[in-house]
């Protein structure tokens, strides 16, 4: 009996995917290339176990403790059909018992679709011995998930073919290329978003006058420039382009009809804080990027990480239990930093309030296969553990 367990990481794009070309919601082919950093699976990751069996009548998926309605989720059905079509017939005819969970605290409000679909795709490919590419299979679950299939710095190439055969993620450099690079995410209190990224990008493509130039000229030029910055480990350039691309995505949303807004007052405060901090330091030491949500993702180098955390928490005082750090020794190191006088009042009289969570991660190395002992499935009883 095939029994596999896989973990998959979150990825954060610094050149954004926002729009689908022909192929729509089935093939999920983007209108432009995008570029991301894969996070470590510590502290946050998605985990999926799969058992192939002839003892159940239908495929079953348990997601975060609840049985999910498989058949009504077109993307899930599509992933399963694709994996079966690329598997040996004696395995393809078996049913899949799948259990999946994210370990992000609910308060994190973090997008789980990228790591979730990647863990699912990766586990299914292994269990079914499928010849499908994990990134391609992840992509038809959720576009951005394809970039979680690799560690390091990852490009999702849009491709040209109508059938999507040349649309896949590729690793640009692995997680050892730029080990100084660190990722933070300030989880900010936000309303439940009323426009999903799927819907938001459809509306933008149809109505925002900025999309044509973004797709045809701006992103291709930016991809080239930021690739060079990554190769050369040029943080200043990397930070400049990352923040411009994030600002552009917010502008695209603002010029979409009806207008889409994911940022909150706290998100804008973070943008002001980061620009003011860089100004006080006399160079770019911290960069922000926002997805379709309020949370602020940040990039900085290891040499600045303790000071960055100290400055962030000086303005957003947050209890230790809300700090989810890959490197737990950072709690002591940031507390040992004396915040410089010119970095103490970067937000004027903006109220001091805590982050919901502050996440820290280095660049990670992609999905991992785990031992059967770590499985989420009780194989004998065929139920979630």
Which range in 9-17, 43-51, 78-86, 277-285 contacts ligand DP6 by CB under 6 A? 9-17
- Minimum gap (Å) between residue 314 Cβ and ligand DP6: 29
- Minimum gap (Å) between residue 25 Cβ and ligand DP6: 7
Site for ligand DP6 contains 122 (CB under 6 A): no
Cα separation of 49 and 21, whole Å? 33
Instruction: Output the six-digit token pair for 323.
Output: 């700090």
Site for ligand DP6 contains 250 (CB under 6 A): no
Torsion of CA 353, 290, 251, 266, to 10 degrees: 0
Site for ligand DP6 contains 13 (CB under 6 A): yes
- Minimum gap (Å) between residue 129 Cβ and ligand DP6: 27
Based on CB atoms, which residue is closest to ligand DP6, 48 or 112? 112
Q: Is the Cβ–Cβ distance between 338 and 86 less than 8 Å? A: no
Cα separation of 187 and 358, whole Å? 6
Site for ligand DP6 contains 47 (CB under 6 A): no
Site for ligand DP6 contains 267 (CB under 6 A): no
For 11-49, give the secondary structure using H, E and C.
EEEEECCCCECCCHHHHCCECCCEEEEEECCCCCCEEEE
Site for ligand DP6 contains 245 (CB under 6 A): no
Instruction: Output the six-digit token pair for 208.
Output: 């925002």
Torsion of CA 107, 113, 118, 120, to 10 degrees: 90
Based on CB atoms, which residue is closest to ligand DP6, 242 or 318? 242
Q: Which residue is nearest to ligand DP6 (CB)?
A: 143
Instruction: Output the six-digit token pair for 98.
Output: 């799948």
- Minimum gap (Å) between residue 294 Cβ and ligand DP6: 12
Site for ligand DP6 contains 34 (CB under 6 A): yes
Site for ligand DP6 contains 142 (CB under 6 A): yes
87: CB partners within 8 A, 6+ apart? 128, 129, 130, 131
Cα 13 from chain centroid (whole Å): 7
Sites for ligand DP6 among residues 284-303 (CB under 6 A): 291-292
Interaction site with ligand DP6 (CB under 6 A): 13, 16-18, 28, 34, 113, 142-144, 197-198, 291-292
């Amino acid at each position: 009996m095939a029994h596999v367990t896989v973990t998959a990481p979150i990825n954060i794009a610094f050149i954004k995917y926002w729009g689908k070309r022909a192929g729509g919601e089935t093939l999920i082919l983007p209108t432009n290339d995008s570029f991301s950093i894969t996070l470590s699976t510590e502290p946050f990751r998605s985990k999926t176990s799969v058992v192939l069996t002839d003892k159940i009548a239908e495929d079953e998926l348990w997601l975060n403790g609840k049985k999910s309605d498989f058949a009504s989720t077109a993307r899930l059905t599509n992933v399963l059909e694709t994996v079966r079509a690329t598997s040996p017939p004696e395995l393809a005819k078996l049913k899949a018992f799948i259990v999946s969970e994210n370990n992000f605290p609910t308060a994190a409000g973090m997008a789980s679709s990228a790591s979730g679909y990647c863990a699912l795709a990766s586990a299914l490919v292994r269990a079914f011995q499928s010849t499908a590419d994990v990134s391609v299979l992840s992509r038809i679950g959720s576009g951005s998930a394809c970039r979680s299939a690799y560690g390091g710095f990852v490009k999702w190439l849009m491709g040209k073919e109508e059938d999507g055969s040349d649309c896949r993620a590729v690793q640009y450099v692995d997680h050892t290329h730029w080990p100084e690079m660190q990722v933070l995410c300030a989880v900010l209190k936000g309303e439940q978003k009323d426009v999903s990224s799927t819907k938001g990008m459809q509306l933008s493509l149809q109505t925002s006058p900025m999309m044509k130039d973004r797709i045809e000229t701006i992103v291709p030029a930016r991809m080239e420039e930021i690739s060079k910055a990554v190769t050369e480990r040029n943080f200043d350039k990397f930070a400049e382009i990352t923040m411009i691309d994030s600002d552009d995505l917010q502008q695209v949303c603002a010029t979409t009809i009806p207008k889409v807004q994911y940022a909150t007052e706290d998100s804008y405060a973070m943008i002001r804080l980061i620009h003011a901090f860089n100004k006080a330091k006399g160079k770019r030491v911290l960069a922000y990027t926002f997805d379709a949500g309020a949370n602020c993702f940040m990039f900085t180098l290891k040499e600045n990480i303790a000071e960055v955390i100290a400055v962030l928490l000086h303005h957003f005082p947050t209890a230790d239990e809300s700090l989810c750090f890959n490197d737990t020794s950072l709690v002591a190191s940031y507390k040992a930093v004396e915040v410089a006088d010119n970095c103490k009042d970067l937000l004027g009289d903006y109220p001091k309030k805590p982050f919901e969570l502050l996440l820290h991660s280095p660049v990670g190395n992609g999905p991992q296969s785990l031992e059967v002992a770590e499985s989420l499935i009780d194989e004998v009883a065929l139920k979630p553990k």
